Amino acid sequence: MAQGSRTFRVFVSSTFSDLKAERNALAKHVFPKLRKLCARHGCRFQAVDLRWGVREEAALDQQTMRICLDELRRCQRTTPRPNFIVLLGDRYGWRPPPSYIPAAEYQQIVQHVSATADRELLDQWYRRDDNAVPPEYVLQPRAGQHEDYAQWEPIERQLWTILRDAQRNVALSPRDRLRYEASATAQEVFHGALDESLKKEHVFCFFRQIENLPELVRALPNRPAAKEYVDRTADGSWDEAAHAELETLKRGLRDHLGAANVADYSARWDGPCLTGDHIGELRENVAESPATATTLCEAVWQTLSRVIEEEVAGLEQVEPLERERQAHAAFGKDRARVFLGRTTELERIRAYLRGDSRQPLVLWGASGSGKSALMAKAALELQQSPIPNPIPGT
């Protein structure tokens, strides 16, 4: 594993309401067993499922997508393989308006919003932040009656529609258009799997097929539970356009990743709900491969346990001293990644390294004051601009 990491941190991406049972089953039957597998090799396993983990305060502050993508990037930095699994059913999912828009981009977009009421709605909910570099327009927190999602949802949908339509008249890259057009899950999938800068071996997908989907769609008007399993338009009917985008997303993942990284499992709608047999408990004698697994738990266990065993085998071949060096390098790089300020302290460290003092330099501070980050930044600077003979007497 790159950087000497002994932590397998796997981001779980899925739509929310329709895959609750699957995520619960993985948390109960599969992830604990993967933690035990890793522990036997002196490693750790962490499943990051932010469909449960984003606090209400963050959602009210409109920070859900920023938090999710930040956590995804953290998984990618920590664990080269595996670090991302995708669960998809028959929902394309929630499409939030962007939590922030670069100021120059926002100003181009609003020029193509002709309706006065639409401009006023954007001005009400997006405020310019000149403290950001570069400046950006930020979606304002939900407060008062808008803390109730039922009250906020129509406004959220309207904001998303206004921005989606207007940005089509602006020259944006496909990557930038994602913020305005794609669902939250599709955005995660792009940044976690489909971006061409990424390797394919770190991603694994598990697609649920509802065998009698037409019956489920017909049940929408009379079965409240059925509405959780497919996308719906504002009037509650089946959203065929969203379903088409979902199929495009699945097809893109299959084409990009190949059959070895995509497994399918099936379920049936029995009237009030989906049958639970497709989820399954984890048994000792699981299927030989994800492609032939009969349940989701079997497929996820078979896939991740195999890959983790392969990665651990490579890790254990690294000499202990080299492993320690890599671990220190990874730790320092993570601490220095968002380092700001402390210019006086950094200059004193540089002066000490350039000088001829034979006394040790002691960095002291209270717990949590940033000693490790300062040392990491100083070490990184030294690597980038070496000082001749930094150790006195050498």
In a domain, 393, yes or no: no
Q: Which one of 179, 194, 223 terminates a domain?
A: 179
Task: Examine the domain organization and report whether 106 and 57 are in the same domain.
Answer: no
Q: Of 178, 216, 208, 188, nearest to 299 (Cα)?
A: 208
In a domain, 390, yes or no: no
Which range has the worst mean pLDDT, 17-26, 94-103, 168-177, 248-257?
A: 17-26
Task: Examine the domain organization and report whether 305 and 199 are in the same domain.
Answer: yes
pLDDT tens, position by position, 298-356: 999 999 999 999 998 887 665 566 667 766 777 666 666 666 777 888 788 878 877 77
- Give dist(CA 153, CA 97) in Å, integer: 11
- In the sheet with 136-139, reading across from the earlier edge strand, the strands are 100-102, 136-139, 126-129
Report the predicted TM-score, pTM, of the whole model to 2 decimal places: 0.78
Q: Which secondary-structure segment (H or E) carries 216?
A: helix 213-218
**Mean pLDDT of the region 126-155:** 95
Which residues, 6 or more positions from 164, have their beta carbon under 8 angstroms from its beta carbon?
A: 180, 181
The partner residues of 267 in beta bridges, in order of sequence, read 210
pLDDT tens, position by position, 216-266: 898 888 888 888 999 999 888 999 999 999 999 999 999 999 999 999 999
Task: Examine the domain organization and report whether 195 and 243 are in the same domain.
Answer: yes
Task: Examine the domain organization and report whether 57 and 90 are in the same domain.
Answer: yes
Which residues, 6 or more positions from 172, have their beta carbon under 8 angstroms from its beta carbon?
A: 105
Task: Examine the domain organization and report whether 104 and 157 are in the same domain.
Answer: yes
Task: Examine the domain organization and report whether 343 and 289 are in the same domain.
Answer: no
Q: Which two tokens stand for residue 375?
A: 């040392």
Domain range for residue 7?
A: 2-95+183-315
Q: What pLDDT shows up at residue 91?
A: 96
In a domain, 163, yes or no: yes
Q: Which secondary-structure segment (H or E) carries 214?
A: helix 213-218
Residues 122, 240: contact at Cβ < 8 Å?
Answer: no
Q: What pLDDT shows up at residue 78?
A: 87
**Mean pLDDT of the region 3-21:** 86
Q: Which one of 116, 147, 179 terminates a domain?
A: 179
In a domain, 226, yes or no: yes
Q: What pLDDT shows up at residue 371?
A: 79
**Mean pLDDT of the region 370-376:** 79
Task: Examine the domain organization and report whether 304 and 327 are in the same domain.
Answer: no
Task: Examine the domain organization and report whether 306 and 337 are in the same domain.
Answer: no
Task: Examine the domain organization and report whether 163 and 291 are in the same domain.
Answer: no
**Number of structural domains found in the chain:** 3
SS3 assignment, position 169: coil
**Number of other residues whose CB lies within 10 A of the CB of residue 215:** 15
- Give dist(CA 367, CA 153) in Å, integer: 43
Residues 100, 136: contact at Cβ < 8 Å?
Answer: yes
pLDDT, mean over the chain:
86
Q: Which one of 286, 315, 344 terminates a domain?
A: 315
Task: Examine the domain organization and report whether 66 and 189 are in the same domain.
Answer: yes
Task: Examine the domain organization and report whether 265 and 245 are in the same domain.
Answer: yes
Task: Examine the domain organization and report whether 129 and 188 are in the same domain.
Answer: no
DSSP label at residue 250: H
